Amino acid sequence: MYQTLSKAGKPFNISFQKDQLFINEHAYAWELKPESNHTFFILKGSKNFRAELVEMDTEQKKVSVKINHRIYSFVFKDKMDLLLADMGMDTLATAAVKDLKAPMPGLVLDITVKVGDEVKKGQPLLILEAMKMENVLKAEGEGIVSDITTQKGDSVEKNQILIQF
């Protein structure tokens, strides 16, 4: 397993070879002793550190850990994340949303937002019935609804714009 972490903008590499941890290709001797699901002790030489998982955002690959009353935040990047960053494609997921299109032909059952509403990523926007199944269409990013181009009960075609931001 190989990961690159970024702490305070300074990248460093972490890798594991069997049970040995390497940071920037230097062996790091340590031992973990779990205390509970979110806390554990780190033993390094004659020093003891108490660590607690404060926050974990798996989607953004961010982790905050409190070690001896001080919080450290990390962003994990694997080889694919680094490759996408090198190609300039790492910001595509955070791009501003401009519209919501119908992923398939169907019937609009409900619209859960109105013009002027501020929406967050993952928020339900519209319910579309297609092939006798209800599909909840969610926001792919953050934005403010500027126009709703369909109404409850309308039949829509694939790729038809339903909501604009």
Are both 79 and 9 inside the same structural domain? yes
Domain that holds residue 138: 99-164
Under-70 pLDDT residues of the chain:
1-10, 89-97
For the entire predicted model, the pTM comes to 0.47
Domain shared by 14 and 88, yes or no? yes
Tell whether 11 and 62 lie within a shared domain.
yes
**Length of the chain measured in residues:** 165
Work out the end-to-end distance of the chain between its first and last CA atoms, rounded to an integer number of angstroms: 40
CATH code for the domain of 22: 2.40.128
Q: How far apart are CA 93 and CA 114, in angstroms?
A: 24
Residues 6, 46 within the same domain: yes
State CA 75 to chain mean position distance: 11
pLDDT of 94: 53
Number of structural domains in the chain = 2
At residue 2, the pLDDT reads 46
What pLDDT, in 10s, does the model give residues 38-68? 898 888 888 888 999 998 887 778 888 898 8
DSSP label at residue 93:
G
Chain position carrying tokens 């961010």: 62
Residue type present at position 80: M
How would you classify the pairing of strands 106-111 and 118-119?
Answer: unpaired
* Together in a domain, 83 and 121: no
CATH label of the domain that carries residue 139: 2.40.50.100
